[in-house]
Amino acid sequence: MDKLHIDYVQYHHLIDRVVRVVEDSGYQPDVILGVSRGGLFLADGLSRALRKPMAVIAASSYREGNGTSQSELQVSASIASVVPLAGKVLLVDDLADSGQTLQALCSHLQQLFPDVAQLKTAVVWVKPSSCFTPDFAAEYLESDVWIVQPFETRDFY
């Protein structure tokens, strides 16, 4: 599989693009909910730019094959947050690959948090094979490349 290597400068530009897309839409979330691990940089950037509190949920489906093969989604039992998860929530991850993680998390959050009035999603990248279309994204990829993000240097790709 082809790999797309992204450095920190490129990554921060992509985060800025997502911030602009959200701002231009007029959407005003009450809470930014970042998916650990990949969504944390984008969630932090959105939280700071929009001046909204950030919460974190852990979810993982890439554990097989040295973390390169998707398997069953595991979601943390709790959310780390200093504010209630309520009102307008922006769920943030790094990418919509198959789309299954975002789709499952949206269902999970809607079932467990009835005070969430509106749930939207934001990612840096959307792959062409994704079954889920996020509300906000920086790039829609034309091919199914493996993205090597700047903070993944310890993953030994």
pLDDT for position 149 = 85
Pairing of strands 69-75, 54-63: antiparallel
Confidence of residue 153 (pLDDT cuts 50, 70, 90): low
Q: Each residue of 32-44: pLDDT tens digit?
A: 999 998 899 999 9
Mean pLDDT of 91-106: 94
Return the residue matching tokens 């310890």. 154
What's the structural domain count of the chain?
A: 1
Mean residue pLDDT across the chain: 90
**Lowest-pLDDT choice from 47-51, 55-59, 62-66, 144-148:** 62-66
User: How distant is the alpha carbon of residue 57 from its chain centre?
Assistant: 10
The helix/strand/coil state of 6 is: coil
pLDDT for position 61 = 74
Specify the pTM.
0.89
Question: Using an 8 Å Cβ cutoff, are 130 and 97 in contact?
Answer: yes
Confidence of residue 2 (pLDDT cuts 50, 70, 90): confident
User: Using CA atoms, how far apart are residues 22 and 26, in angstroms rounded to an integer?
Assistant: 7
The DSSP secondary structure of 38-73, one letter per residue, reads TTHHHHHHHHHHHT--EEEEEEEEEEHHHHTEEEEE
HSE-up (13 A, CA, CB side) for residue 41:
17
User: Using CA atoms, how far apart are residues 95 and 139, in angstroms rounded to an integer?
Assistant: 9
Percent of the chain beyond pLDDT 70? 90
**Does the pLDDT at position 1 exceed 50?**
yes
More confident of the two residues 34 and 75: 34
Write out the residue range of the structural domain in which residue 113 sits: 3-155
**Does the pLDDT at position 68 exceed 90?**
no
**Lowest-pLDDT choice from 27-36, 111-120, 143-152:** 143-152
Structure tokens at 127: 């792959």
More confident of the two residues 70 and 45: 45
- CATH number of the CATH domain containing 50: 3.40.50.2020
**Does the pLDDT at position 123 exceed 60?**
yes
**Does the pLDDT at position 69 exceed 80?**
no
> CA triplet 132, 69, 154: central angle to 5 degrees?
105
